[in-house]
Amino acid sequence: MSGTADMDIQQENDEWHELPSVVGPPPNCRSRSDSLDSCSCAADPVTQEEITNPLKEIVVKAVLDAMAIMEDCGVSIKTFEDILEYGKTMLLTFVGDDVDVDILSALWPKNWNAVQSLPKKEGFDDVKEYYICICRENKTFTRSGKTHTKYEYSRKWSIMESKDEFCSHCGKKGYIKCYYLGLNAKVKNWFRSESMCRKLLSHWDEREHWLGRATSWPVKKEMWDGERWLDLQWFWDPDQRWTRPTRCVNCKAIISAQTISHCSKDDNGMALSGLSRML
């Protein structure tokens, strides 16, 4: 995968962030007068205690930091387990009297296998590792009698699936490591807490700004206040219906929505007849 960046790259270690996509009104929010408070999608299968447990958050952060140090230093698993035990001792030594050390000790992983399972329990499953190359060249220049070296970026970049792959533009290996969470796990993580649900559904909570309107909201503060959102409001409108593509149960071929729309309908309005002849 490759592309051309639309911005100047100022630093080598710029952080890469991905904004979660906005999701539409859930099945239980079919009425325009419904509020998010009555929406059952906000119910989290993860218990509230697990979400807000500050001790668990401390343990997860500490262990993930230790794993990052392990990778940078290249230590063995045996050495890491020794560091893990030392980290537990240090943590229990410096916690305040208001912290239950027995609970903290029980949450702390005992070995490498427990450490490996910890990220999965927190939703970091099916993570794919990529290597990013933002094409650059070393340029030497002289200023005030002194020679300096800086990077000059070409605004081209590539993403490689292996550290041994080379950039399609500059032919170099990727130097920025990037982890991409699989879509299935990512969606589950979005809905791990009620506050995240509210953020993802904030456009629906303010649907009077766009739903059923012919003109955009006069005050532009959010993306749904713009003109483009009016063109797409049919997608979020619970009173709208549209045809979705499907897959043939026999040959597994994808049947487009346009093909289904042009088929003859049965008494229930279902486009079933004629599909086999059209494929």
pLDDT digits (tens), the chain, 279 positions: 444 333 333 333 333 333 333 333 333 333 333 333 333 343 344 444 444 577 888 888 888 888 888 877 877 888 888 888 888 888 888 877 777 888 888 888 888 888 888 877 777 777 788 999 999 998 888 888 888 888 899 989 999 999 899 999 999 999 998 888 778 878 888 887 788 888 888 999 999 999 999 999 999 999 999 999 999 898 899 988 888 888 888 888 898 888 888 887 777 766 654 444 444
**Judgement on whether residues 273 and 255 belong to the same structural domain of the protein:** yes
Q: Are residues 231 and 215 in the same domain?
A: yes
Q: Are strands 146-160 and 176-181 parallel, antiparallel or unpaired?
A: unpaired
- Domain assignment of residue 69, yes or no: no
CB-based burial of residue 169 (10 Å sphere; 0-12 exposed, 13-18 middle, 19+ buried)?
middle
156 inside domain: no
User: Does 162 reside within a domain?
Assistant: no
For the whole prediction, is pTM greater than 0.85? Answer: no
Query: Residue 232 sits in which domain range?
Result: 206-240
Looking at the structure, tell me whether residues 250 and 273 fall in a common domain.
yes
The H-or-E segment that residue 54 falls in is: helix 54-73
Give a yes or no: residue 255 inside a domain.
Answer: yes
The answer to whether residue 33 is domain-embedded is no
The number of folded domains in the chain is: 2
Is 27 among the domain residues? no
Across 153-167, b (16+ Cβ under 10 Å) vs e yields beebbbbbeeeeeeb
Question: Is residue 219 assigned to a domain?
Answer: yes
